[in-house]
Structure formats: structure tokens, C-alpha cells
């Protein structure tokens, strides 16, 4: 795939690049431009949608890399000065996520579908939150699960009106908020690699807790959370666990089963 259209959009020739770690589902490069700038380049079929999401995040006042250009399957982003996480960085991340969640939409979902690698995501708007979580985030996995797990997920999906709030504020969600998608800087933080849609703010918090425990500084920055969040957490963590099971194999079946246990399914 030619980079010529991206260079034209950037107004500068790319003189060098090196691969960056971009997770399992994307190609990411740090590029040097002829005018002396650096830019992060991403290549893939969904970069135009990602550009729109990053702009939506920035419009809330939350920190995200600036979109420099997008053309023909390429995305060029501001290269931010990454550092190791620190208490100040974690507190800043909490503040950025709170700022993001403070921007609400008219309903649950997003104007376009998205996906993780080969796995499509249904973002079609739905009028109530339990219905969205059941139809767009849990039931699509049923045909791909072993029979026992499928039965348990289906039973949980049917109970969601009793487990989740019917109409929580439709917060703008990052949608894939784990520590690898938080970029820490000196006393600051930015949100990268989004999978945005509108929904219950606790979705992002549950995802951030799936593979670790955010330190106290994050919660100091984020502020108070809703009563009952701990009981809802496994319901929300089940979705990313199902994504991992589908994309990366049976090693995640135990995680899915354990979250179903915690959710009472």
C-alpha cells in the first residue's frame, strides 16, 4: 500500500520509519518527516474510523494524539513523549477518563460499526442500555462458544434488565481501555487506540480492571463512582473476555467462566 497519499496529506516526505509495538491487531510505525517532524503512522482497514474517534475524544477536552492526516488506509498521529507510568500520570489518566465520560450522547451505540481485527462490533444504536449490552456485546458470541458457556452467557443476557441500569447517562466511552491504550507522559496521560461508542461509564472502568488494579492515584483523578459498581463489574468484563476468547483461543475460557461465576450465571 503506497504512502504517497499520506505524504501529500502531511505536506512532507517520510524519510524513515521504525516499527513500534502496536498490540496484536495493528501495524504501527514511528516515522521521521523531511521537515523534521515525527509522526506515529498506523496502517489498517479501520484507520478512518479511528481518526473520527480520536477527534471525538479530543473534542471533549480529554487528551488524545492529534490526527495529522488520514489517507488510503494510513493514519498519521502526533508523536507524544511517552514515559513510564507514575502516580501523577495515573492521576492524570483518571482526570482524562472522567473528562471523556462527562460528554454524553443521545443514546447507546455509535454512528458506525467497528471491530477488533477480524471481529466486527455492532454499534447500532439501541434505546435501552441492558438491551444494547445483551444484543451488541454478549449475544453475538453465542454461535462461537462451547454449548455450556453459550447457555450461561445467554442466561446472563436475559437477566440484564435486573442487573444493569436501564438508562444510565450515555457517556462517551474509550471502548478498549486497558493500560496498553493509555499513553503516559511526564505528569500527564493520553488516550490512544479507541473503540468508541456511547454507554455506561463503568464499561471503561471494568475494562481497566480486567488485567490489573489501577492504583489509588487513578481513582483520585477520576473521582467518585456509582454504588453497586463492583456487582456490575464482571458483567462488563465479560465482553472483553469473550473478545479475547474469540481472537486468541481457549486459554481465555477460564476467564470467561470465572466472570460468569462472579455475575451469578
Q: Which residues are catalytic?
A: 176
Cell for 125?
444504536
Cα 112 from Cα 118, distance rounded (Å): 16
Tracing cell 481501555 back to the chain, one arrives at: 177
3-class secondary structure, 249: coil
3-class secondary structure, 41: strand
The CA radius of gyration of the chain, in Å to the nearest whole number, is 19
- CA–CA distance from 249 to each of 142, 144, 256 (Å)? 15, 11, 12
Q: Number of helices and strands (H, E) in the chain?
A: 9, 11
Amino acid at each position: 500500500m503506497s504512502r504517497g497519499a499520506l505524504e501529500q496529506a502531511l505536506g512532507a516526505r517520510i524519510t524513515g520509519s521504525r516499527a513500534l509495538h502496536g498490540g496484536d491487531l495493528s501495524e504501527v510505525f514511528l516515522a521521521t518527516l523531511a521537515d523534521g517532524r515525527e509522526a506515529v503512522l498506523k496502517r489498517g482497514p479501520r484507520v478512518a474510523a479511528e481518526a473520527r474517534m480520536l477527534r471525538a475524544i479530543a473534542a471533549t477536552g480529554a487528551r488524545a494524539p492529534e490526527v495529522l492526516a488520514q489517507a488510503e488506509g494510513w493514519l498519521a498521529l502526533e508523536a507524544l513523549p511517552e514515559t513510564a507510568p507514575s502516580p501523577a500520570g495515573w492521576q492524570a489518566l483518571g482526570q482524562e477518563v472522567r473528562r471523556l465520560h462527562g460528554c454524553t450522547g443521545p443514546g447507546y451505540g455509535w454512528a458506525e460499526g467497528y471491530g477488533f481485527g477480524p471481529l466486527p462490533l455492532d454499534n447500532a444504536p439501541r434505546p435501552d442500555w441492558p438491551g444494547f449490552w445483551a444484543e451488541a456485546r454478549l449475544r453475538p458470541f453465542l454461535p462461537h462458544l462451547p454449548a455450556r458457556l453459550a447457555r450461561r452467557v445467554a442466561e446472563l443476557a436475559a437477566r440484564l434488565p435486573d442487573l444493569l441500569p436501564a438508562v444510565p447517562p450515555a457517556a462517551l466511552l474509550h471502548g478498549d481501555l486497558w493500560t496498553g491504550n493509555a499513553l503516559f507522559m511526564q505528569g500527564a496521560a493520553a488516550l490512544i487506540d479507541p473503540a468508541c461508542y456511547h454507554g455506561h461509564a463503568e464499561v471503561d472502568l471494568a475494562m481497566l480492571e480486567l488485567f490489573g488494579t489501577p492504583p489509588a492515584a487513578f481513582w483520585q483523578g477520576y473521582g467518585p463512582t456509582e454504588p453497586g459498581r463492583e456487582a456490575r463489574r464482571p458483567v462488563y468484563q465479560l465482553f472483553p473476555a469473550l473478545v479475547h476468547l474469540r481472537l486468541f483461543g481457549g486459554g481465555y475460557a477460564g476467564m470467561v467462566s470465572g466472570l460468569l461465576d462472579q455475575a451469578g450465571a
